[in-house]
Amino acid sequence: MHWFQSQLAALNRLADQYARAQRPSASNIVNVSENMRLKRAEFIDAVQALVNQVGKIKGISSCAAYHDGLILARSADVSAIDAFGATVQESARAAQQGAALLGLGDVEQIVIVGTKNKLAMLNVGPLVLCISCRKEINLAAALQRNIAPP
């Protein structure tokens, strides 16, 4: 498993822990709420760290994470953030409908390739991680080879 795949696996584990912390419990509500807050903060901090690292990789233009079309984290160089979010939300909706009609199962990723750039959208727990780069860049290779410093 290369660097990026291990980062996604770690984020999925944190997302699962946060989801479990949100389930109601008969125990002390104060402790449950504190645990949920801590799990949420841990997940969001990890998302921001990954977005920052991916945004520094050579060949990647920008990286952002969205939840229901709302920005959760972004690299320093994301321009047109609202357009990014709108594209994510509309693309995800269309892909989910198409996947259901075609029996594909849950959508894992969407890639939109334009004449100049491309945008990859990957589902990670409850959010969508978006990575933008030039059309010519092999995104998988860039994410595998070019591990950005923390």
For residue 22, the surrounding DSSP H or E stretch is helix 3-22
Contact present, 18 and 36 (Cβ < 8 Å): yes
pLDDT at 42: 93
Question: Does the reported pTM lie above 0.95?
Answer: no
Predicted confidence at residue 47, as pLDDT, reads 94
pLDDT for the residue numbered 18: 87
Chain segment 90-134, per-residue pLDDT in tens: 888 899 899 989 999 988 899 999 999 999 999 888 888 999 999
CATH no. for 3-145:
3.30.450.30
pLDDT score of 54: 92
Give the pLDDT score at 134: 93
Q: CA-to-CA distance for 78 and 131, rounded, in angstroms? A: 10
Q: Please, what sign has the CA dihedral across residues 139, 56, 72, 40? A: positive
Residue 69: its pLDDT value, please? 73
All residue ranges of the chain with pLDDT < 70 are: 1, 24-32, 78-79, 145-150
Q: Cβ of 54: how many Cβ atoms within 10 Å?
A: 23
Percent of the chain whose pLDDT exceeds 70: 87
